[in-house]
A and B are shown apart, each in its own frame.
Chain A
Amino acid sequence: LVACFVGEGARGVPLSGHVGFDSMPDQLVNKSVNHGFCFNILCVGETGLGKSTLMDTLFNTKFEGEPTQHNQPGVQLKSNTYELQESNVRLKLTVVNTVGFGDQINKEDSYKSIVEFIDTQFEAYLQEELKIKRTLHSYHDTRIHACLYFIAPTGHSLKSLDLVTMKKLDSKVNIIPIIAKSDAISKSELTKFKIKITSELVSNGVQIYQFPTDDETVAEINSTMNGHLPFAVVGSTEEVKIGNKMVRARQYPWGTVQVENENHCDFVKLREMLIRVNMEDLREQTHTRHYELYRRCKLEEMGFKDTDPDSKPFSLQETYEAKRNEFMGELQKKEEEMRQMFVQRVKEKEAELKEAEKELHEKFDRLKKLHQDEKKKLEDKKKSLDDELNGFKQKKTAAELLQAQTQQAGSSATLKKDKERKK
């Protein structure tokens, strides 16, 4: 979508005939029709408030039975896409339902998966938009264009879950609050209920979608309808015979609630506003307001910012490059840090091991010394034994010598004696 600076810096000139550019809107419309349209509705509300039935009634078809795609993006959000056609207009409709909303005991985080889902669709579009080779004109837009918030028909006031959830969603999506199963409320109660709801929304600063009043062709009807919000709706796919026509209605013993009877409920108003008059505006608001807000926040989060408008014009390349260099620098720094850490560890471990080695050597030096001492002792002992041995040997030898001498002397003496005797 490109908005137009009509007439800025341009001078008006009169035309002297029919040029033919008044066909431009038709040219544009023809292209859109050929391309097909797409619309995504999110239904938020507690189980049993008739969300699916209302969708069936609004689009006059039985949805659950004939989807063309099943997407399950979140834990609690179920989305289905349908291809519808009416005369020559093709519509790719996606209906997202919150499953299990409000069923938990602790509902503090209930809104989170809804916000996450909406953000995911924005993110997908943003990623596509930022790609180098992109195909935006054939991109299937999954961003939520309208959020129907189903309020339980208590007749009193909004539940705190409703206020909390709507407050979290109002800057992300166009919220259209509706009173579900409103055939449970009487007309007088309904008026009071609507007033109470509206004042609670205002006092809590919840921004709901306002039907636009800037275009004269629809300003009147839109502003009237704005006064009827929130719409009290009844949905039904069953038909009852009223007079000689079959109409969609709910039959009670005390009467029949006709869905398309404006005295019975605001269904027709909802259909008129949502589909017939403001569908295009809902898409436009989603793109130019909610999506832009998301995009701006996301880019700022990543550190992008516009340069001063007075200085030289913003250059995308330079920002990307600067971001990239910063980013690469960070990565390199991290790498260096890790390396340094390892070098440090290695050093420490080396010192440790060296210590251990030193200790080991010291231990063995001591042992060696001990061993040396022992050896010395042994040597000494050996020496003393050897000395003793030598001494003994000497003694022995001397004694033996003496003995031998003595024997010799004795024997020679004996010989002499014998000789003498023999004389």
Chain B
Amino acid sequence: MEELEKDLHLDKALTVIWSEIHCLHDDIENLEGYVGFANLPNQVYRKSVKRGFEFTLMVVGESGLGKSTLINSLFLTDLYSKDYPGPSQRIKKTVQVEQSKVLIKEGGVQLTLTIVDTPGFGDAVDNSNCWQPVINYIDSKFEDFLNAESRVNRRQMPDNRVHCCLYFIAPSGHGLKPLDIEFMKRLHDKVNVIPLIAKADTLTPEECQLFKKQIMKEIQEHKIKIYEFPDTEDDEDSKLIRKIKEKMPLAVVGSNVVIEVNGRKVRGRQYPWGVAEVENGEHCDFTVLRNMLIRTHMQDLKDVTNNVHYENYRSKKLAAVTCNGVDATKNKGQLTKSPLAQMEEERREHVMKMKKMETEMEQVFEMKVKEKKQKLKDSEAELERRHEQMKKNLEAQYKELEEKRHQFEEEKANWETQQRILEQQKLDASKTMEKNKKKGKIF
């Protein structure tokens, strides 16, 4: 624990040095060959301070686990006070989701902090689906962001998405309750879940160790994905991160009361047997939580929300839209295309399909026409042929007839000639007879 504190002091010192470096800028500029884009980080710094920051923190857990107190301790303010009472003061019948927005300033940096509380969570007798309002809230913030991002006229988009969810585990000392497991399983894909052991001052260090081990075992068993620290190349940082990982889940104590201990003013809980100090690393992991949540990993929590959880939500939502009315198997490979590109592709596909259809129809058409024309041609040829044949036939018959007539005529002529000769002979003969008769040769 002490090492951690030393590290933090080092952190502070480095911050001071960093600002001195800003001042050394002029000197560096005059170094030869210096282009100056190394100043980009400063430009980014400057602009981010001007813009201000936002962060939305959700706290979930049964009533009485000290959620509001912890928030007040974390941010060293009375977020929940007499004027703005915390949800714990109110009795809820069903699970509500409530948000409080505050603006806090420190060192020239403005932070718009939204605390999302879930009063009534786990307090009912039948807690089935008590996580549903929470899921609905997170999804609705994603939806708002998606809609704002999808507008044609986009304006500056406020980021109200839930960046982190602190889940409070009751310090039973045994293990996770079924509700704990169920909740974390349902939310680990939607938000960065950081489980905390609440009211850790009711556990001895040994009990706490065992409890933590048991919880982590169960988390692994149920494949719950709690927030993981990003890998870092820096050796110092990785050492720190490994230390923090060993302490998970963090056991915290919160307090709104400042007590004097050995001349120091500390936040703590006064017991007859002593004072449990909130910021004492040997008493609880509060400092670890605060440093991790606020001082070192706040930006990463936002980035993971934006790059992982939000993108998951978005791709699921958009895939559902484009899958409508289209064959599901066709869509598997289309998730990497934007809907506009998809429509363009579909348009192109359709043009090709139409072209193909057109050529096919043309082909069939031409073929049928050709067939029919051929048929016509064939029957025409056939008819022609027959006609020719008949004509030939007729001609042959004519010829035959002609010949026959010719023959007949010849025959007739012959016969007639013959007859004429015979006639002549007969005539001659009768003439001679007549003559002979006349001459008396007749008896």
Residues of A bordering B, CB below 8 Å:
2-29, 31-33, 37, 39, 58-60, 84, 86-89, 91, 126-134, 137, 214-215, 217-218, 271-272, 275-281, 284, 292, 295-296, 299-300, 302, 304-306, 313-317, 319-321, 323-325, 327-328, 331, 334-335, 338, 342, 345-346, 349, 353, 356-357, 360, 364, 367-368, 371, 374-375, 378, 381-382, 385, 388-389, 392, 396, 399, 403, 406, 420
Contacts and interface: CB of A to CB of B under 8 A. Distances in A.
A389 B75 CA distance: 143
Interface string B343-358: 1001100100010011
Interface string B392-417: 00100110010011001001100100
A21 B294 contact: yes
B54 A127 contact: no
Contacts of B290: 19-20
A364 B387 contact: yes
B339 A353 contact: no
Contact of B380 (A300, A360, A374): A360
A39 B37 contact: yes
A289 B296 CA distance: 32
A1 to B, nearest CB: 9
Interface in B164-214: none
A346 B361 CA distance: 10
Interface string B136-152: 00000000101100111
B365 A349 contact: yes
Interface stretch (B87-95, B126-134, B316-324): B316-324
B106 A19 contact: yes
Given A13-B77, A306-B151, A324-B322, A60 B48 contact: no
A385 B404 contact: yes
Contact of B324 (A2, A279, A321): A321
23 contacts: A10-B113, A12-B105, A15-B75, A15-B77, A16-B76, A21-B295, A22-B108, A23-B295, A27-B300, A28-B299, A126-B340, A132-B336, A132-B337, A275-B39, A280-B46, A316-B321, A317-B321, A338-B357, A338-B361, A360-B383, A371-B390, A371-B391, A385-B401
A111 B340 CA distance: 28
B102 A127 contact: no
Contacts of A26: 15, 18, 45
Interface in B211-260: none
A84 B37 CA distance: 9
Nearest to A298: B340
Contact of B338 (A130, A306, A349, A368): A130
A23 B15 contact: yes
A133 B337 CA distance: 7
Contacts of B297: 27
Contacts of A20: 106, 290-291, 294-295
Contact of A13 (B37, B51, B78, B401): B78
Interface of B: 15, 18, 29, 33-41, 43-55, 74-79, 101-114, 144, 146-147, 150-154, 156-159, 290-291, 294-300, 303, 306-307, 311, 314-315, 317-322, 324-325, 334-341, 343, 346-347, 350, 354, 357-358, 361, 365, 368-369, 372-373, 376, 379-380, 383, 387, 390-391, 394, 397-398, 401, 404-405, 408, 411-412, 415, 419, 422, 426, 443
By DSSP majority rule, is chain B's interface helix, strand, loop, or mixed? helix
Contact of A24 (B299, B317, B322): B299
B101 A11 contact: yes
A31 B303 contact: yes
Contacts of A388: 408
The CB with the most chain A CB atoms within 10 A, among B36, B77, B411, is that of B36
A162 to B, nearest CB: 28
A21 B372 contact: no
Contacts of B46: 215, 217-218, 280
Contact of A338 (B50, B111, B358, B412): B358
Nearest to B147: A314
Nearest to B317: A317
* 6 shortest interchain CB distances as A-B pairs: A130-B338, A22-B107, A6-B52, A280-B43, A3-B156, A27-B299
Given A22-B109, A316-B146, A385-B408, A91 B40 contact: yes
A292 B77 CA distance: 40
Given A324-B343, A371-B394, A392-B412, A86 B322 contact: no
B47 A284 contact: yes
A6 B338 contact: no
Contact of B159 (A2, A292, A316, A335): A2
B401 A21 contact: no
Contacts of A281: 43, 47
A60 B408 CA distance: 128
B152 A299 contact: yes
Given A11-B102, A127-B338, A371-B390, A37 B37 contact: yes
Given A16-B76, A19-B294, A132 B318 contact: yes
B107 A320 contact: no
Contact of A353 (B314, B341, B358, B373): B373
B365 A37 contact: no
B390 to A, nearest CB: 6
Contacts of A316: 146-147, 150, 318, 321
B421 to A, nearest CB: 12
A221 to B, nearest CB: 13
A281 B43 CA distance: 8
Contacts of B47: 215, 280-281, 284
Given A7-B110, A11-B101, 15 more contacts: A2-B159, A8-B112, A15-B75, A21-B55, A23-B295, A27-B297, A27-B300, A32-B40, A128-B338, A215-B50, A272-B36, A276-B39, A320-B322, A324-B322, A324-B324
A11 B340 contact: no
A21 B295 CA distance: 6
B106 A320 contact: no
A360 B378 CA distance: 11
A374 B394 contact: yes
